[in-house]
Amino acid sequence: MLPTPTKFTLVAGEAEGPTRLNAFDNALLAAGIGNLNLLKVSSILPPGAKAVETLDIPPGSLVPTAYGAITSETPGELIAAAVGIGRHGDGFGVIMEFSGKCSKEEAEATVAEMVRAAFRHRRMELTELFVKGIEHRVEKTGCAFAAVALWY
């Protein structure tokens, strides 16, 4: 079992690339996590985890990450990705991810409502909400990526 992360950082990036995978990789680089090994995780923020604005993680590190991403090869299409975190006090939190053919504002509103719904279903009071999104207008092959990196 990995140690429980004590920090979290919301990141987002958008980019073009010659292929879908290159567009995704370039969006990771734009988000500041392109040189990390992302371990995709389900959506629970550990209790007591502290929000940190800037990642300080060595390249190649294994980083638990909840993320939403969308890649498109339709020129002119608007795509967006967003993540949201809700929590009650210093208790555990819930992370939601969203991506779609929409604006940043629509993606952020959608993910915020997803967080609220998760708290209602858990019968927990939502006292803190973090949301971060990004949009991209596709030129040839583009990607929008938003994530919550959980780290130590």
Catalytic site positions? 37, 42-43, 97
How many Å apart are CA 147 and CA 83, to the nearest integer? 6
User: What is the C-alpha separation between 7 and 120, in angstroms, rounded?
Assistant: 25
Q: How far apart are the first and last CA of the chain?
A: 14
Residue 119's Cβ-side half-sphere holds a number of Cα atoms within 13 Å equal to: 24
Which residues on adjacent β-strands are paired with residue 63?
38
Beta strands at 62-72 and 128-137: parallel, antiparallel or unpaired: unpaired
